[in-house]
Amino acid sequence: MISRRDFIKSIAVMGAATFLSLYKSDLVSALREVKDYWHICWLNGAGCTGCSVSFAQAADPDLAEILTSITVGTSGLPIALPDWMYVVHPASGSLAVEFIEDWIKYRKGQKILVVEGAIQKEGFCETGGRDFREWVKEASQAADYIVAFGSCSAFGGIPHANGNPTGAMGVQDFLKEVGLNNIAMNVINLPRCPGHPDSLTLTLASLMLGVVPELDNYNRPLMFYGKNIHSEYCPFRPFFERLEFSKFGQSESGCRFKIGCKGPIAWADCSSRKWNNRTAFCIDVGAPCIACSEPEFPDGKTAPFFVELPEVVITPPPATTVKPVEVTPLPIETLRAIGIAGLIIAAAGGAAAIYTSRRRRSRELEKEAKGEV
Amino acid sequence: MPKIKVDPISRIEGHLNIECRIESVPELKGEYFVKECKAAVTMFRGFEVFLIGRDPRDALLFTPRVCGVCPNPHSIASAMALDDAFGAIPPPAAILIRNIEEAAYYIYDHMIHFYLLIGPELAVLMGPEYGAPILPPVLGREGIAKGIGSHYVKCIEMQRRANEVVALWGGKFPHVTNYYPGGVLVQPTPERIAQSLANLVPVWEFVALTMIEDVKKLLYANERLKEVTETVLGVRVGLENIGECNGNFLSFGMLPRVEDYESDWLDTSKRNNSVFKAGAWFNGARHPLDENRITEDAKYSFYDVPDGLHPWDGRTVPMPNKPGAYAWTKAPRYDGKVFEVGPLARMLNTFGAKWKIPRIHPITGDDYGVFEYEVRNPKGSVLDRVVARAANALICANMVFEFLRELAKLYSEGKTQNINDKPIPKEAKGRGLWEAPRGALSHWIKIKDYKISHYQLVVPGTWNWSPRDSKGNPGPGETAIQCGTTWIPRLTVPEIANALYPGWGDLVAKALTTLNMKYSGLNLEKTERGEIVNATIPLLIVRSFDPCLACGVHIISPENKTYTFKLN
């Protein structure tokens, strides 16, 4: 058994992301300490349901564990069973609408809204007799935290592609459009296509434990999006240094740069965390990275997918100040109360609670500079 | 005639609502039955627009994102369309790798449908002994220990294991990245083959020994259902009498064999030797597929295009508030007729109406007996669709081991070429016909100046959930709901369960209301007269098709013009 002291040391040495991925099973016990029922509402807009399916691929804890083991105290009630999530929910029709409305009406304090899929112009997506825009607008105002899971709800994703006839956009942009700037600022974006189940499980767990993860300028938690795929994580990087490149139809071995790999412009932890219970990630199977974690996906520099980048320029990190993980000293009783894993989360947040007010984004500034606003 | 509307519908992919006119039938004790049904898909994104002008290979990564539940069939359909356009025939190892990935993917898909999507309804009908393991784990760990939700939970683990094999070859699931015109980007390695075998053994065991047994129990419980309906309605109504369509079934075939890929598979009018055959089943027999007979009508769809266009000429110019239109899906027809697609269509076209599927353990060789079934309703039904889906999963679970062994053999012979790489053609066209779990899927691409100039998808969501066509014939889903036996009881779900098995409904009610008291009103809808009725059976029929509708709706706008309009 690893001691608590070792835990804390390890966080400092390994970094929060690696640490969380190694010890995330402990989340289960940590979450048992959370006393009250958290209400989660999962809304689906212009998406493909791939993020829900991706969430079902979660491992350690897997979806079944999340649904059953993580219970409120000793009540046996599952803490994270969403009040509404249409992919697995028993209810349809008017009862389903009632569940969403009830969630909106609950008092604030423990409500998380998860959005999957983009938000379009009026008339393109309707559910429960109302336009999806109205649901998101109302639910966002009722939520304590908003998590945009997957590239569509984070940045618009595939439906947002050039030529897009429906005006699809991410939750943040939508909220700004309807004048809810303050709420938009606090949306936590978990892009990638589909969203990675770990990013959601860990983010929800953090929030339930009262810690907002530290975010970058695109509101992505640094613990998942803080490093560059090409320069910091890729196992094929040595091939790049030796100028050994893979080629279509000849060799799977070598750096994927020449077949269009967008690793140099992608910020995500795919190569260390991998996918589907640590099985593989895109580059592992001879394919190029398509930078699905980036706001410009699937256009800008990310496309065409199989054409090499004009130059290898590692884009500057999306956060201007990447803080090292800081461990906030907590009294021993508190440690016992929230359990070891709770501490991990707290640490992972990087004293985020303290810095929440300071973490602000320069995205608007960037946009203004580009004349996009 | 009273009317009910169910919107939204959970446990399906996509945004669908149904509107049913119901009438009281005096011969059936005055109970309500659905007289007319209209199904409407209520979300659309505009995929074909943003494909125009892109690198043709980008379709490989765009089109899976049409649907996150069935991304793999889109990957392979677009890969085959590009194979066709590029003139690149995949080498044997690539064909096998594609098959392995698709077969593993199919197991996941059919499994989650049986347990997670339609399972809760089936569980209620199956009673305490058989149904409890299929229920969601609403009573948590304690409940699972008592058997409530044990198979449901196991399914979550097993679908994940199956998808790990997909990810092993495809990089990740959903949305694999390893497909490429003329083959796959991933190479066969002994490690990948060995890990796939190791991962799939428990998956095979779950499909063959748990899921198939649960299906057998469903068949048994269905007899009990008929006894109860005889008491309540005066006629025997089982799941084989519910959700009947017209007896036309279309399949494009899937999982080709390596040895006759060119002679049998690439000619879509043959596809006689693939694991699932292509064909049009009507008048109780399979007829060769003729892809020229595929057309789409748009009379009742929000599009301003002529009826009867082939996908090569297909266009999708939206026309909001078009008089008489009520759906975002077009109406694909084969030979001008309504055809149902899906697992039952695959099984009928491949094996006819009687199936015998072996259950021999892929590693130990133990024989667990043949799974036999004879189609109960030649026009299709909830029961036949559910059983066909399980049979499909078993066939895929058996075949994936065969493909892995073939691939290991190729590897040992040094035949590891994974792509037949061809340059992007300046001008070409190609089509890829495959089977998504939900049914026949086709991609049609035209390339001009090395870029995509035309892309059409005709997907199972449009086949099964099409609105009425130019002749006024309703689509398969609508037909199935208004087939005459769709009973709309005035009883609640727990009351139905109690009628089937005394005391069972109380347990179901307890499980449901532990989470939220309002669950006692599960599936109840109000007619506009304020009468409360139970919509479980139409929902059961909807789910028996395993609808997947994100892909059903796509739009093309030649001038890249932005449209704004409201859904009716």
Give the start-to-end residue ranges of the domains of chain A: 35-208, 227-302
The shortest CB-CB distance from A49 to any of B69, B153, B524 is to B69
Q: Cis ω on the peptide bond leading into residue B489 (within 30° of 0)?
A: no
Residue B563 CB-half CA count within 13 A: 23
pLDDT of B281 above 60: yes
- Please judge whether A304 and B139 are an interchain contact, meaning their C-beta atoms are less than 8 angstroms apart: no
* Dihedral angle sign, alpha carbons of residues A330, A333, A338, A341: positive
Instruction: Report residue A61 as tokens.
Output: 């804890």
**A276 three-state secondary structure:** coil
CA B301 vs. chain centroid, Å, equals 22
Task: Tell me the nearest-neighbour CA distance from B288 into chain A, angstroms.
Answer: 33
- Please judge whether A51 and B71 are an interchain contact, meaning their C-beta atoms are less than 8 angstroms apart: no
- Please judge whether A64 and B168 are an interchain contact, meaning their C-beta atoms are less than 8 angstroms apart: no
Q: Report the distance separating Cα B48 and Cα B319, nearest Å.
A: 16
CB B513 within 8 A of CB B529: no
Task: Tell me the nearest-neighbour CA distance from B563 into chain A, angstroms.
Answer: 6
Q: Report the distance separating Cα B284 and Cα A141, nearest Å.
A: 57
- Please judge whether B68 and A69 are an interchain contact, meaning their C-beta atoms are less than 8 angstroms apart: no
DSSP A20-58: HHHHTTHHHHHHHT--SPPEEEEEE-BS-SHHHHHHTT-
| pLDDT band per the 50, 70, 90 thresholds, residue A28 | low
pLDDT on residue A315: 57
Helix, strand, coil shares of chain A, percent, nearest 5, are: 40, 10, 45
- Please judge whether A252 and B187 are an interchain contact, meaning their C-beta atoms are less than 8 angstroms apart: yes
- The DSSP call for residue B273 is S
H/E run at residue B213:
helix B212-233
The shortest CB-CB distance from A168 to any of B45, B185, B524 is to B45
CATH classification at residue B56: 1.10.645.10
pLDDT on residue B201: 97
Q: Report the distance separating Cα B276 and Cα A71, nearest Å.
A: 45
Q: Cis ω on the peptide bond leading into residue A298 (within 30° of 0)?
A: yes
| pLDDT band per the 50, 70, 90 thresholds, residue A335 | very low
pLDDT of A8 above 90: no
pLDDT on residue B43: 65
Task: Tell me the nearest-neighbour CA distance from B367 into chain A, angstroms.
Answer: 31
Task: For B31, list phi and psi in degrees, rounded to 5.
Answer: -70, 155
Using alpha carbons, select from A287, A279, A57 the residue that is nearest to residue B168. Answer: A279
pLDDT of B558 above 60: no
Whether A124 contacts chain B with CB within 8 A: yes
Print burial letters for B67-103: b (CB count within 10 Å at least 16), e (below 16): bbbbbbbbbbbbbbbbbbbbebbbbbbbbbbbbbbbb
pLDDT on residue A126: 78
pLDDT on residue A330: 33
The shortest CB-CB distance from A62 to any of B140, B157, B521 is to B157
Does some domain include residue B325? yes
Is A125 catalytic? The answer is: no
Interval B350-363 mean pLDDT: 96
pLDDT tens-place string over residues B113-152: 999 899 988 999 999 999 999 988 877 777 888 888 899 9
The shortest CB-CB distance from B55 to any of A46, A59, A307 is to A307
A129-138, B87-96, B461-470: which is most confident: B87-96
* Size of chain B in residues: 568
Is A39 catalytic? The answer is: no
pLDDT of A69 above 70: no
Where is pLDDT greater, at B50 or A340?
B50
Does some domain include residue B559? no
| pLDDT band per the 50, 70, 90 thresholds, residue A27 | low
| pLDDT band per the 50, 70, 90 thresholds, residue B83 | very high
Interval B429-443 mean pLDDT: 96
Q: Report the distance separating Cα B486 and Cα B538, nearest Å.
A: 6
- Strand duo B179-180 + B183-184: pairing: antiparallel
Amino acid sitting at position B69: V
Using alpha carbons, select from B136, B128, B130, B145 the residue that is nearest to residue B112. Answer: B136
Q: How many other C-beta atoms can be found within 10 angstroms of the C-beta atom of residue B422?
A: 17
The total of structural domains in chain B comes to 1
Q: Write down the residue that tokens 């992608």 correspond to.
A: A266
The residues, any chain, with a CB within 8 Å of residue B354's CB and separated by 6 or more, are: B372, B373, B374, B375
Is A41 catalytic? The answer is: no
- Please judge whether A88 and B62 are an interchain contact, meaning their C-beta atoms are less than 8 angstroms apart: no
- Please judge whether A165 and B62 are an interchain contact, meaning their C-beta atoms are less than 8 angstroms apart: no
- Write the ipTM: 0.92
Contacts of A296 in chain B (CB under 8 A): none
In chain A, the percentage of residues whose pLDDT exceeds 70 is: 68
pLDDT on residue A168: 92
- Mean of the per-residue pLDDT values for chain B? 90
pLDDT on residue A342: 35
- Please judge whether A276 and B167 are an interchain contact, meaning their C-beta atoms are less than 8 angstroms apart: yes
Q: Report the distance separating Cα B416 and Cα B227, nearest Å.
A: 58
Q: Report the distance separating Cα A287 and Cα A281, nearest Å.
A: 9
In the beta sheet, which residues pair with residue A275?
Answer: A280
Does some domain include residue B143? yes
Decide: residue B396, CB within 10 A, 0-12 exposed, 13-18 middle, 19+ buried: buried
Does some domain include residue B428? yes
Q: Where are the alpha helices (DSSP H) in B340-456?
A: 343-351, 382-412
Amino acid sitting at position B277: K
DSSP A78-112: BSS--SEETTT-S--HHHHHHHHHHHHHSPTTSEE
Residues 333-352 of A with CB under 8 A from B: none
pLDDT of B257 above 80: yes
Interval A45-59 mean pLDDT: 90
* Closest chain B residue by Cα to residue A248: B421
Does some domain include residue B561? no
Q: Report the distance separating Cα A314 and Cα A263, nearest Å.
A: 9
Where is pLDDT greater, at A207 or A238?
A238
Does some domain include residue B560? no
Instruction: Report residue B564 as tokens.
Output: 């704004």
pLDDT on residue A1: 29
pLDDT on residue A2: 37
CB A125 within 8 A of CB A265: no
CB A337 within 8 A of CB A312: no
Q: Report the distance separating Cα A58 and Cα B99, nearest Å.
A: 25
Q: Write down the residue that tokens 């996509």 correspond to.
A: B14
- Please judge whether A76 and B141 are an interchain contact, meaning their C-beta atoms are less than 8 angstroms apart: yes
Segment B361-368 long-range contacts (CB within 8 Å, at least 24 positions apart): B361/B204, B361/B205, B361/B208, B362/B200, B362/B201, B362/B204, B362/B398, B362/B401, B363/B197, B363/B201, B368/B208, B368/B209
The residues, any chain, with a CB within 8 Å of residue A172's CB and separated by 6 or more, are: A148, A154, A184, A187, A189, A219
* Dihedral angle sign, alpha carbons of residues B65, B69, B74, B76: positive
* Closest chain A residue by Cα to residue B59: A305
Q: Cis ω on the peptide bond leading into residue B502 (within 30° of 0)?
A: no
* Closest chain A residue by Cα to residue B196: A279
Is A261 catalytic? The answer is: yes
Does some domain include residue B566? no
pLDDT of A340 above 90: no
- Please judge whether A304 and B153 are an interchain contact, meaning their C-beta atoms are less than 8 angstroms apart: no
Task: Tell me the nearest-neighbour CA distance from A354 into chain B, angstroms.
Answer: 36
Interval B300-326 mean pLDDT: 83
* Closest chain A residue by Cα to residue B182: A249
The shortest CB-CB distance from B171 to any of A57, A285, A304 is to A285
pLDDT on residue A84: 77
pLDDT on residue A347: 34
For helices A197-208 and A332-348, give the axis angle rounded to 10 degrees. 140
Where is pLDDT greater, at A324 or A246?
A246
Contacts of B524 in chain A (CB under 8 A): 94-95
Interval B261-270 mean pLDDT: 96
- Please judge whether A249 and B563 are an interchain contact, meaning their C-beta atoms are less than 8 angstroms apart: no
Task: Tell me the nearest-neighbour CA distance from B7 into chain A, angstroms.
Answer: 4
Full domain range(s) for residue B123: 3-552
Q: Which of A41, A152, A160, A196 is catalytic?
A: A152
Instruction: Report residue A45 as tokens.
Output: 């807009």
- Strand duo B340-341 + B249-254: pairing: parallel
| pLDDT band per the 50, 70, 90 thresholds, residue A29 | low
- Do the domains A227-302 and A35-208 match in fold? no
pLDDT on residue A67: 66
Task: Tell me the nearest-neighbour CA distance from A118 into chain B, angstroms.
Answer: 9
- Please judge whether A90 and B539 are an interchain contact, meaning their C-beta atoms are less than 8 angstroms apart: no
Residue range A227-302, CATH number: 4.10.480.10
* Closest chain A residue by Cα to residue B419: A249
- Please judge whether A93 and B525 are an interchain contact, meaning their C-beta atoms are less than 8 angstroms apart: yes
**pTM score:** 0.89
- Please judge whether B555 and A165 are an interchain contact, meaning their C-beta atoms are less than 8 angstroms apart: yes
Q: Report the distance separating Cα A267 and Cα A227, nearest Å.
A: 5
Whether A47 contacts chain B with CB within 8 A: yes
Three-point CA angle A284, A287, A292, nearest 5°: 95
Contacts of B519 in chain A (CB under 8 A): 90-91, 95
Q: Write down the residue that tokens 């991410």 correspond to.
A: A170
Q: Report the distance separating Cα B111 and Cα B389, nearest Å.
A: 9
pLDDT of A15 above 50: no
Amino acid sitting at position B241: N
Interval B410-438 mean pLDDT: 95
Does some domain include residue B469? yes
CA B410 vs. chain centroid, Å, equals 32
In the beta sheet, which residues pair with residue B431?
Answer: B444
- Looking at CATH, the fold of the domain delimited by A35-208 is given as Rossmann fold (3.40.50)
Contacts of B140 in chain A (CB under 8 A): 68-69, 71, 76-78
Contacts of B60 in chain A (CB under 8 A): 305
Contacts of A32 in chain B (CB under 8 A): none
In the beta sheet, which residues pair with residue B372?
Answer: B356
pLDDT of A9 above 80: no
pLDDT on residue A99: 87
The shortest CB-CB distance from A48 to any of B65, B160, B173 is to B65
